[in-house]
């Protein structure tokens, strides 16, 4: 027993240090992943709110679109504000802006074709 000359303690310290560093690295990675998934979730919720509002606002339209079209729609996960930005004989451009409960903003502009009675273009805008 006396011939070990202190080899076990340094080996235990090295193995313990590697284990502790690995654990700290994994905790740090978990925190980063959790923040990323929260951001993705909020973006998807904002996008989903806009999709719901577009379907709700354009339902039942034909060629008759109100001249002063604007309003707000409230959903359990956030609110959507919409406004008619431009209208001509065939197309109408409506801007939708959603905001979630955690203040994530999503903005789009749709191009609605009155003759076809449906959305023909979907333009996503960068939120500031």
Q: How far apart (Å, rounded) are the C-alpha atoms in residues 123 and 17? A: 53
Quote the pLDDT of residue 56: 87
CA distances from 30 to 23, 41, 42, 68, 83 (A): 11, 16, 18, 49, 41
- Among left, alpha and beta (phi > 0; psi -120 to 50; other), residue 78 is left
Q: What residues contact residue 46 under an 8 Å CB cut-off, 6+ apart? A: 78, 98, 99, 100, 104, 105, 106
Residue ranges in the chain whose pLDDT is less than 70: 1-4, 62-64, 126-128
Quote the pLDDT of residue 104: 87
As a residue count, the chain comes to: 128
Total-model pTM:
0.73
Quote the pLDDT of residue 84: 87
Place of tokens 């500031």: 128
Quote the pLDDT of residue 128: 45
Place of tokens 């203040």: 103
Q: What residues contact residue 45 under an 8 Å CB cut-off, 6+ apart? A: 77, 78, 100, 104
Quote the pLDDT of residue 9: 87
Quote the pLDDT of residue 122: 86
């Amino acid at each position: 027993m006396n011939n070990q000359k202190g080899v076990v303690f340094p080996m235990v310290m090295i193995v313990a240090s590697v284990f502790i560093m690995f654990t700290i690295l994994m905790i740090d990675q978990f925190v980063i992943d959790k923040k990323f998934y929260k951001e993705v979730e909020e973006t998807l919720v904002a996008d989903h709110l806009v999709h719901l509002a577009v379907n709700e606002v354009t339902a039942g339209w034909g060629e008759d679109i109100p001249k002063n079209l604007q309003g707000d729609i409230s959903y359990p996960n956030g609110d959507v504000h919409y406004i008619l930005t431009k209208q001509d004989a065939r197309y109408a451009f409506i801007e939708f802006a959603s905001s979630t409960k955690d203040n994530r903003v999503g903005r789009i502009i749709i191009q609605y074709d009155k003759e076809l009675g449906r959305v023909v273009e979907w333009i996503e805008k960068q939120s500031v």
